[in-house]
Amino acid sequence: MGGKNIKSVKRSLYRLKAIKTWQLFLVFILFVFASATLLRIDHIKMTTLRSEVLSADEEGNTELLSEKLNELRNFTRKHIVINVVDDNGIKKMEFGTGVFYLENSYIRDATAIINQASEQEIDDSNPNGNIYAAASAVCRPLAIANGWAWNSQGYLNCFTNELAKYPASALSEENISVTIPSTELYRHEFLSPIWAPCLSGFVILVTAVIGVVIFIRFLIWLVLEITLIILKNP
């Protein structure tokens, strides 16, 4: 049985040896093209899934958002996703989705907290009164003048800046817990492996093997040529 396997391997090696280098090179070009095409398909799929996540975020459907996030995470972890991102004006290549924010979720949550704080009754024991209502009184006219929506980033920035003008002592025990959530909680980035056992991954692996075979053949040819030159000119 073992002898038959050895003979089979030998026959395969002889067939491979019979293939011309230029033929291997043509096959290599085809596999390079196939690899690039499959990587492009994986990138488009990732972009589509990421767009679905952002759409669910915009709709405010938390169940759908969680489902789409998991779908995007699982796809990215099981495929080779190459992404070109902009880092302070510099284009660089990354494996994964790149950083994206659930901006609408942040605005909704921050707005809910601000509205809740603004509706609190004035604390007579606090000389500053209800500082949340005071901040709202300043920012609402600015929102109207600048065309800000009540849940826009401009209004949220104005509100937090107004609160920062009051000393920490102006916050009662109850109001200390009323804080704007950090944007980092809404930041997501899913990383992709450099190689994954998927269709594009196996095609890339075959492409690499063919490339190595061509390179080895080239080295052998180069050594033989140099040897012949040396022998002709002792």
Q: What is the pLDDT of residue 10?
A: 55
Q: What is the pLDDT of residue 167?
A: 66
Q: What is the pLDDT of residue 41?
A: 95
Q: What is the pLDDT of residue 162?
A: 79
- Measuring CA to CA, which residue among 31, 89, 27, 57 is closest to residue 217? 27
Provide mean pLDDT across the span 84-111: 82
What are the Cα distances from residue 104, in Å, to 11, 54, 91?
63, 9, 26
The structure tokens listed for 226 are 């140099």
Residues composing the chain: 234
Residue 47 has pLDDT above 90, yes or no: yes
Provide mean pLDDT across the span 9-15: 56
Whether residue 93 contacts residue 192, with contact meaning beta carbons closer than 8 Å, is answered with no
Q: What are phi and psi of 180, to 5 degrees?
A: -70, 130
Q: What is the pLDDT of residue 149?
A: 67
Between these two residues, 81 and 217, which has the higher pLDDT value? 81
Provide mean pLDDT across the span 40-59: 94
Domain residues of the chain, as ranges?
Answer: 2-99+189-232, 103-186
Q: What is the pLDDT of residue 117?
A: 63
- Measuring CA to CA, which residue among 88, 134, 113 is closest to residue 182? 113
Computed over every residue of the chain, the mean pLDDT equals 79
Which residue matches tokens 């826009």?
Answer: 152
pLDDT digits (tens, 9 = 90+) for 115-150: 776 665 444 455 455 676 777 778 878 877 787 766
Q: What is the pLDDT of residue 31?
A: 94
The SS3 call for residue 215 is helix
Give percent above pLDDT 70 in the chain.
Answer: 73
Residue 73 has pLDDT above 80, yes or no: yes
Q: What is the pLDDT of residue 177?
A: 44
Residue 214 has pLDDT above 50, yes or no: yes
What are the Cα distances from residue 137, in Å, to 43, 155, 160?
47, 12, 13
What are the Cα distances from residue 56, in Å, to 52, 63, 66, 69?
6, 9, 9, 9
- Measuring CA to CA, which residue among 215, 210, 219, 204 is closest to residue 28? 210
Q: Mean pLDDT: which of 46-55, 142-151, 181-190 is highest?
A: 46-55
Our measurement of the distance from residue 156's CA atom to the centroid of its chain's CA atoms, rounded to an integer in Å, reads 27
Residue 102 has pLDDT above 60, yes or no: yes
Task: Give this prediction's pTM.
Answer: 0.67
Task: State the pLDDT confidence band at 173, using cuts at 50, 70 and 90.
Answer: very low
- State the Cα–Cα distance between residues 201 and 154, nearest whole angstrom: 45
pLDDT digits (tens, 9 = 90+) for 143-157: 777 877 666 777 778
What are the Cα distances from residue 190, in Å, to 31, 37, 73, 74, 100?
28, 22, 6, 9, 10
Q: What is the pLDDT of residue 70?
A: 96
C-beta neighbour count of 186 within 10 angstroms: 18
Q: What is the pLDDT of residue 19?
A: 67
> What letter would DSSP give residue 152?
S
Give the CA radius of gyration of the chain.
31
